[in-house]
Amino acid sequence: MVVTLIVASVSIGIGAYIIYERGYSIDNFSKDISQLLDGEDINIDLGPLEPLSFRENYFIGDKTNIILQTSLGEIDVSSYDGEELMLSIEGQVAKKYLKDYIDVKESNDQITFKLFDHSRTRTFITREAADLEITLKIPKSYGENLKLSNISDDISVTNINLSNLKIETISGEVDIYEGEIDELDLATVSGDIEVQSQVGFINGESVSGDLSLGNIQGFKIDSVSGDLDISLDHQPKASQGESISGHITLNILGQDEITYDFETISGNITIERLGSELNVGNRAKNKGLNTNVVKTSTISGDITLKN
């Protein structure tokens, strides 16, 4: 919660300054900030939304890094049988954000797409600036690195094979399905995440968002208040999960084979096996044939091990 307020406060301050400079009265601004802090919606008239349709192909060559960041619109990424990157933007957006809405930079090993970069300062003031779908199609032959970031909208990644996938989002949901990813890096604030791709290792940081992670071999995750539901390989890599108030659920076949160390300060630890439940208090350890330690800890959240 504290981190969310810090991020929001910074963004509100910058956004409000720009709006005030353009004639937005300080009285109205004060009322809107009070409404926002009280958990109420606020509205600032950005004018009617204008249609936007953009399509372009980009040569990928030997590039090993693709970066796509936006502060407006949903991101949908998938693979296809072609040889070029295909980027499209469809929908509606406030007229003030139509100017210079895309910036593309290329080097020998990287291509970067920055969309609506000048609108980042308004996100915590209003979300009525656009209704957009941003689609990126990547050649199936590409298997390198991809970074995606957005604010207040969802990210979907389907059937992509990558060495590394990095995702950063604030208040948007993330869905990752099919494909194989060697390493997945996640950073979210208040957005839920579901992963059903085969993943070698996940590094994650979450504030108040729930994480549902399946088909993974290892993880290192820090969570503030979101729940973690993790399905691990029966021979997992050394892993660590920490949560302040969120619950942690581990689904692992062959519990006796893994080495684990679970600890909670005020929560409960439950071991489920063959249809029965055993409450073991606030500490549980096991030394299995697989010596890679799966370690989890919480302050007030429960920990559950299932098979």
Q: Residue ranges of the domains in the chain? A: 2-37, 46-153, 171-307
Bridge partners for 105 per DSSP: 112
Q: What residue spans of 38-90 are helical by DSSP H?
A: none
Place of tokens 């010596």: 291
Question: Strands 276-279 and 269-273: what pairing?
Answer: antiparallel
pLDDT along the chain (307 residues), means of 10: 36 35 46 55 68 96 96 95 97 88 96 82 53 96 96 93 95 93 93 93 91 93 92 90 94 82 95 84 90 94 91
Contact between 244 and 40 (Cβ < 8 Å): no
d(CA 188, CA 14): 21
Give the pLDDT confidence score for residue 118 in this predicted structure: 63
Count Cβ atoms within 10 A of the Cβ of residue 39 and give its class: 0-12 exposed, 13-18 middle, 19 or more buried.
exposed
Give the pLDDT confidence score for residue 191 in this predicted structure: 83
Give the pLDDT confidence score for residue 133 in this predicted structure: 97
Question: Strands 219-223 and 198-207: what pairing?
Answer: parallel
Give the pLDDT confidence score for residue 277 in this predicted structure: 84
Give the pLDDT confidence score for residue 202 in this predicted structure: 97
